[in-house]
Chain A
Amino acid sequence: MTRKLLRRADYARTSFFLRPLPCLAAHFFTRFFDSELVSGDGDNSLSIGGVFAIFAVPGLLAPLLLFAKYSSFGAWLTGQWRRMNVWQMSLADQYLLITWAMTVTGIATVIKWDSLFPDRRDFAALAPLPLSLARIFYAKVFGLAALLLFFIIDVNGPSSVVFPMIFIAGWGNFTDYVRFTATHVLAIAAASAFTFLFFIAIAGVFQAVLPPRWFVRASRYVRTVAVVSLLSLFLTAFAVSDVLVRGHWPRLVRMLPPVWFVALSRALFGRPTFPVFPELARLATWSLLIVFVAAAVAYALSYRRYFMKIPESIDAPAGEYSRVAAALWRVIERLLPGRPAERACAIFAMKTIVRSEKHWLILGGSLGLAVTIASESIAGAPLSRASVPPAPVLAFPLVVIFFLISGLRFVFAMPSELRANWIFRTCGDLQADTGPRIARLVMLALIAPFLILICVPVYAAAFGLAMAAAHTMFAALLSLVLADVALAGYRSIPFTCSWAPGKGNPAFSIGLYTLAFFLFASLMSAIEHWILASVVRYAVMAGVIVAAWLWWKHEAANGEEPDAVLLYEDRREPAVQTLNLS
């Protein structure tokens, strides 16, 4: 009986997906996961399930970390029982969860920006078939809606159940839990939909207004700005948490979209009863309605135009590079140190960063995050014309350098046109140590203009030329050390080696990078603040760092395998490894 039912269900499912519209919608849905960033072409092999699991984990873990904060037993032990107002306290955490949902949805939409409309492959496959444009359009819309739904459930599902449970457990009843969960889910779904539709509207408007070639060019800048803005929005979760729980929300805070959706949830739930809630809840509703209409109109308007123009467009940034740009690249190549083959590979790597949208987007996001963090640090520093700049001010270039080097290290590992790497494999005398030398050259070639053109003039204007020179030299020395540490074990030419994203331990890597960030930016800026007061201290510290760096290089050179070769395929380690004892 069960087997019969299962067979019928399977038959019904198969029959459903064999009909043109569901079949096309399913095709579009799966195509969202078919890219070099998340799967496909052997560059990496994350399945759809893997992608969803990655996004679901933070939403599940974050509320668990709040367990101690809302523990009624803990509050009773510390005598906080009567004074604690969890409904008010939870505003900051709810804001964090809503901001996380908006950031993840936004970044995913921006990354998949190209897939929001049917692309060249879709055109090649679908245009010859007897399918009306309207049917393809509806299938694409259904695919998008399914993606949004899955994303909302995946990113927010676990947190929406666990978060209310944790903070209401000791302080409310089951009805409170159900009511709060419902309003929270509604708010978080509305916030995610708002972000998703907002970027669809932006993409639609750009598609409708710009010629295809200009759209390709403009989209990279728009996407970079979008990623930086989303990351900055996420950082506000830590900046405004105190303000939110106090109840008096300044005008600037009220302009943040996640705040509208927090207010929407609390206006529906009824606790706490801040007077600002109804007004912001209305704003949330109207803004959602407006982006929905804008997205629908922009998408529908641009759809036909875009689909019909696909054959005339090209894949990558526009056709012709200027002669000035070609001459500029030649000048840069001449300025770089090293052997001609290394310089040529470094120029290739720089061109890849500048011209490959996914690499540009990731590095741009990383730098945007750096500038946001560094600016926050400077904004909180005491501003005075002291002879020695305060540590947070000194930290600015270190933060940027840290994110630039770690961002470059990350993007170097992501291949670009992997199948084209045969040219490196079949020509030249590229040895195993050429890879890290090229990578280091690129890192330092990008850091040098930042230090010379931005740091020196800015710090010279604020603290005098001598201080600017001393600070820049210290930052340059630390860059050399960090670049070498970041490239330990690196054995490939940037962008030419296949990527195995599941190979490393993400949790360990995040922990390591966080620790390295605090050591590099916070600790070193504090040390620099101390040594800049005395020439002797400065000289001794510089000497210690140089000695440590040379020791590191010596050890790294000793540890190198004599028969090491350049890697072009980075395979995942097998789940079970033998000890090779026999």
Chain B
Amino acid sequence: MLEARHLIKSYSGIPAVADVSFQVRRGEVLGYLGPNGSGKSTTVKMLTGLMEPDRGHVCLDGEDIHADLPGYKRRLGYVPEEPNLYPYLSGAEYLTLVGTLRGIGARTLRAKIDRLMRLFSLYKERYAAMSSYSKGMRQRVLIMAALLHDPDVLIFDEPLSGLDVTSAAIFRNLLSELALRGKVILYCSHVLEVVEKVCSHVLVLNRGRCVAHDSIEHIRARADYLSLEQSFATLVNEPDTQAIAAEIVDCMKSHDTQTAAAR
């Protein structure tokens, strides 16, 4: 079980995460939601051990991860929000580097990489520099890198970004399959339709604070909403999006005299 206990993090005195607590059990997919700047990325950084909380703890199976950080990292698979990769390495080279750092033996690693690259439809491009990969291809490399060592905990930050329809469908099924095999999964996303389909529970963060943490059915039932999107809008006090859109169009229409003359 992955557990965040009273996590607090501030940047130069400005709170980014204020007393956030939650648990993700084995076989559970927790959807981690929140508008931009709500503290999602900061929480993910703390959960992956990239950043230490000012106060609070991240625990795996009751043990603080900082008591044995390398041991925790061995059990962690992480797909970051941005596909930051080494563009001059090929996909296979990158996965070999990651696999070796994860301590996988050379023979097993080669076989695993070949198989995964075939399954993720990247086998033909295995020797190509990642600079020539599309965004979706890079995303697939990141997902493969996270799965390579069969981790117990998986943290996905916008994993569907750039994926085509087929790859996205495969990934959604993969999530269910991983959950069935008892993995602890945290899924951060802005795409609420997907979260609704793949997550058993959701946690909504707003301005660093947890404003809801429950199963999707309960959250929807709480205010009699039909969709998670409506619930989310209420929970984070989303402004009137239709009015803003109308105002943007008004703004587009207004020209100064100089521009009008140029036209």
Contact = CB atoms under 8 A, between A and B. Distances in A.
Contacts of A340: 100, 103, 106
Interface stretch (B26-34, B84-92, B195-203, B219-227): B84-92
B38 interface: no
Interface residues of B, number: 34
Contacts of B129: 314, 316-321, 355
B101 A417 contact: no
Contacts of B49: 426
Contact of B70 (A329, A423, A429): A429
B85 A420 contact: yes
Contacts of B102: 427-428
A293 to B, nearest CB: 36
B185 interface: no
A314 B131 CA distance: 7
B139 interface: no
B263 to A, nearest CB: 11
Chain A interface, DSSP helix/strand/loop, else mixed: helix
B141 to A, nearest CB: 11
B88 A427 contact: no
Interface in A359-374: none
A425 interface: yes
A352 B87 CA distance: 10
A315 interface: yes
A567 to B, nearest CB: 14
Nearest to A429: B70
A423 B127 contact: no
Contacts of A318: 129, 132
Nearest to A424: B101
A156 interface: no
B101 A430 contact: yes
A17 to B, nearest CB: 16
B128 A356 contact: no
Nearest to A322: B127
A473 to B, nearest CB: 32
A14 to B, nearest CB: 15
Interface residues of A, number: 36
B128 A428 contact: no
Contacts of A351: 88-89, 93
Contacts of A430: 101
A125 interface: no
Nearest to A568: B50
Contact of A326 (B92, B100, B132): B92
Contacts of B73: 426-428
Contacts of A347: 97
A149 interface: no
Contacts of B16: none
A341 interface: yes
A416 interface: yes
A340 B105 CA distance: 9
A420 B48 contact: no
Interface in A134-151: none
A315 B101 contact: no
Nearest to A213: B132
A202 to B, nearest CB: 24
Interface string B226-242: 00000000000000000
Given A340-B106, A344-B96, A419 B82 contact: yes
A314 B88 contact: no
Contact of B86 (A320, A420, A425, A429): A420
Given A321-B129, A428-B73, A316 B87 contact: yes
Nearest to B89: A351
Interface in B64-81: 70, 73-74, 76, 78, 80
Interface in A200-244: none
A422 interface: yes
Given A322-B127, A416-B86, A344 B97 contact: yes
B17 to A, nearest CB: 19
A417 B131 CA distance: 12
B98 interface: yes
A82 interface: no
A429 B74 CA distance: 8
Given A352-B88, A420-B86, A430-B101, A320 B128 contact: yes
A422 B146 CA distance: 12
Contacts of A552: none
The CB with the most chain A CB atoms within 10 A, among B88, B90, B106, B131, is that of B88
A427 B98 contact: yes
Interface string A324-340: 00100100000000001
B50 A422 contact: yes
Contacts of B92: 326
B87 A315 contact: yes
A425 B50 contact: yes
A54 B260 CA distance: 47
A348 interface: yes
Contacts of B178: none
Contacts of A321: 90, 93, 127-129
The CB with the most chain B CB atoms within 10 A, among A351, A426, A427, is that of A427
A352 B94 CA distance: 12
A323 interface: yes
A417 B106 contact: no
A348 B78 contact: no
Interface in B112-142: 127-129, 131-132
A321 to B, nearest CB: 5
16 contacts: A317-B88, A319-B128, A319-B132, A321-B127, A340-B100, A347-B97, A348-B86, A351-B88, A352-B88, A416-B86, A417-B85, A417-B86, A419-B84, A427-B76, A427-B149, A428-B73
3 closest cross-chain pairs (CB), A and B: A344-B100, A428-B101, A355-B88
Interface of A: 314-323, 326, 329, 340-341, 343-345, 347-348, 351-352, 355-356, 416-417, 419-420, 422-430
Given A417-B84, A423-B98, 19 more contacts: A314-B132, A316-B88, A317-B88, A321-B128, A322-B127, A326-B92, A326-B93, A326-B127, A341-B103, A348-B97, A417-B85, A419-B84, A420-B85, A420-B86, A423-B97, A426-B48, A426-B76, A427-B73, A428-B73
